[in-house]
């Protein structure tokens, strides 16, 4: 009996060693679930490029393991999200999910990641719940919560900043889905705390661009400022339409930086001088940001934006986890705690990750000048999402 037990223990040990060996040689499978079509297509591509750039800079390996990529176009379509994420989890058997841009799609991804205990790094989508009630050890975000950049803009809009005066009356406008409504909520919280009043919330279905009737309404109401959440192709159209009505001459258009990030070339004169708040600015003059932008431009023959930074930092977070366990994915607790405890040396500036899994980071006030969002100052230092409802 004892010999049998010894033998079976030996067999089990050999089996484990074999597993570790197989794992040691095999690549880590990373599954990108991102929008490659639709209004957010450029954001998805930038995230993938940023992620791959960091891996390439490490010689193609993280924690001693090669990286193999899988990808699914999520089309920013929540109704297809569960099927799409299961292609990566069940069909491709990925070790790590990286996605996505759209908050509604990301919420379905987070649910699937929790249920299957698959590692998930969110490289954009700000859905507050992901690092709120849905927070989990296996989920980390390299980007922001919708509340974060919105709250900073609400504070600036109410209190003023430098030569900018504070405002009293605001109208908000956005797409009617989680990111838009949470962004408006974060803005309103800070703006009203600072003594302002949001007099009207306007919205339209995602990813619609029929802005005319809503712009007419803004012109009739004459607020001091307008706060808008749009991004990607929709942001290009909105900012151009806003300027075409002439409204930008009398009513400043504010927003989280998504309104002008990765879009300035297409927006042209319409966006010049716009003030936005975000955790990144193109011209942050640090060795880290300068080296990153140079490397990105050399590799892709295009200029990096905030989405490229978030992809790059998603890879840095994964690298921290894999290095801590020397590539051994079976050491789950050590891996996920290293991913939460990392200090990310980001092009945006160094940042930490909260217990809930969200970056604690400076939010800059930026001004659109030429093709860059230039830093004006720090709107809120080391801003942490309140992580309402997270029990980690």
211-250 residues near ligand PHB, rule: CB under 6 A: 231
Which one of 42, 103, 145, 148 is in contact with ligand PHB (CB under 6 A)?
103
Neighbours of 381 (CB within 10 A): 8
Q: Longest Cα pair distance anywhere in the chain, in angstroms?
A: 88
Beta-ladder partners of 202: 173
Q: Which is nearer to ligand PHB, 79 or 286 (CB)?
A: 79
Asked if 270 and 245 count as a contact pair (C-beta separation under 8 A), the reply is no
The residue count for binding ligand PHB (CB under 6 A) is: 12
SS3 of 331-379 = CHHHHHHHHHHCCEEECCEEEEECCCCCEEEEEEEEEEECCEEEEEEEE
Alpha helix ranges (H) inside 222-284: 232-244, 264-267
Question: Shortest distance, CB of residue 140 to ligand PHB, whole angstroms?
Answer: 16
Q: Select the residue interacting with ligand PHB from 102, 141, 155, 279 (CB under 6 A).
A: 102
Question: Which residue stretch of 10-18, 119-127, 210-218, 329-337 sits at the interface with ligand PHB (rule: CB under 6 A)?
Answer: 119-127
55-63, 118-126, 239-247, 274-282 -> range binding ligand PHB (CB under 6 A): 118-126
- x/- binding map, residues 37-76, to ligand PHB, per CB under 6 A? ---x------------------------------------
Assess 258 for contact with ligand PHB (CB under 6 A): yes
Residue 292 in contact with ligand PHB, rule: CB under 6 A: no
CB of 157 to ligand PHB, least distance (A): 19
| Residue closer to ligand PHB (CB basis): 65 or 141 | 141
Q: What are phi and psi of 161, to 5 degrees?
A: -160, 120
Each residue 120-149 as x (binds ligand PHB by CB under 6 A) or -, in order, gives ----xxxx------------------x---
Using the rule CB under 6 A, is 279 a contact of ligand PHB? no
From residue 237, how far is each of 113, 177, 189, 304 by CA, in Å?
34, 18, 27, 21
Compute the Cα dihedral for 226, 264, 240, 143 and give only its sign.
Answer: negative
**Among residues 53, 81, 96, 101, the one that binds ligand PHB under rule CB under 6 A:** 101
Give CA 295 to chain center in angstroms: 21
**Local structure of 122: helix, strand or coil:** strand
Residues in contact with ligand PHB by the rule CB under 6 A: 40, 101-103, 124-127, 146, 179, 231, 258
């Amino acid at each position: 009996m004892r010999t049998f037990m010894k033998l079976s223990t030996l067999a089990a040990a050999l089996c484990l060693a074999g597993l570790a060996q197989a794992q040691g040689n095999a690549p880590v499978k990373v599954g990108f679930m991102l929008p490659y079509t639709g209004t957010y297509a450029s954001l998805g591509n930038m995230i993938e490029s940023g992620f791959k750039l960091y891996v390439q800079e490490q010689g193609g390996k993280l924690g001693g393991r090669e990286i193999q990529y899988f990808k699914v176009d999520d089309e920013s379509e929540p109704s297809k999200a569960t099927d799409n994420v299961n292609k990566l989890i069940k069909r491709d058997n990925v070790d790590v999910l990286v996605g996505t841009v759209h908050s509604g799609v990301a919420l379905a991804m987070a649910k699937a990641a929790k249920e299957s205990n698959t590692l998930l790094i969110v490289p954009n989508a700000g859905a507050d719940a992901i690092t709120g009630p849905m927070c989990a050890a296996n989920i980390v975000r390299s980007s922001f919560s919708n509340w974060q950049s919105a709250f900073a803009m609400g504070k600036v809009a109410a209190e003023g900043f430098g030569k900018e005066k504070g405002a009293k009356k605001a109208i908000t406008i956005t797409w009617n889905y989680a990111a838009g409504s949470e962004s408006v909520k974060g803005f309103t919280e800070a703006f009203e705390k600072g003594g302002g009043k949001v007099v009207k919330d306007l919205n339209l279905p995602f990813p619609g661009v029929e802005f005319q009737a809503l712009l007419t309404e803004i012109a009739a109401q004459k607020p001091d400022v307008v706060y808008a959440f749009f991004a990607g192709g929709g942001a290009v159209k909105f900012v151009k339409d806003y300027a075409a009505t002439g409204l930008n001459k009398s009513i400043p258009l504010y927003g989280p930086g998504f309104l002008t990030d990765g879009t300035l070339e297409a927006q042209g004169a319409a966006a010049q001088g716009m003030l936005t708040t975000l955790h990144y600015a193109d011209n942050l003059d640090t060795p880290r940001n300068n080296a990153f932008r140079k490397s990105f431009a050399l590799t892709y023959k295009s200029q990096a934006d905030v989405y490229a930074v978030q992809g790059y930092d998603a890879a840095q977070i994964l690298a921290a986890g894999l290095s801590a366990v020397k590539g051994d994915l079976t050491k789950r607790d050590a891996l996920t705690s290293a991913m939460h405890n990392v200090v990310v040396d980001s092009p945006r500036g160094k940042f930490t990750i909260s217990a809930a899994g969200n970056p604690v980071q400076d939010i800059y006030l930026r001004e659109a000048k030429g093709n860059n969002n230039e830093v004006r100052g720090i709107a809120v230092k080391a801003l942490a999402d309140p992580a309402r409802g997270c029990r980690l």
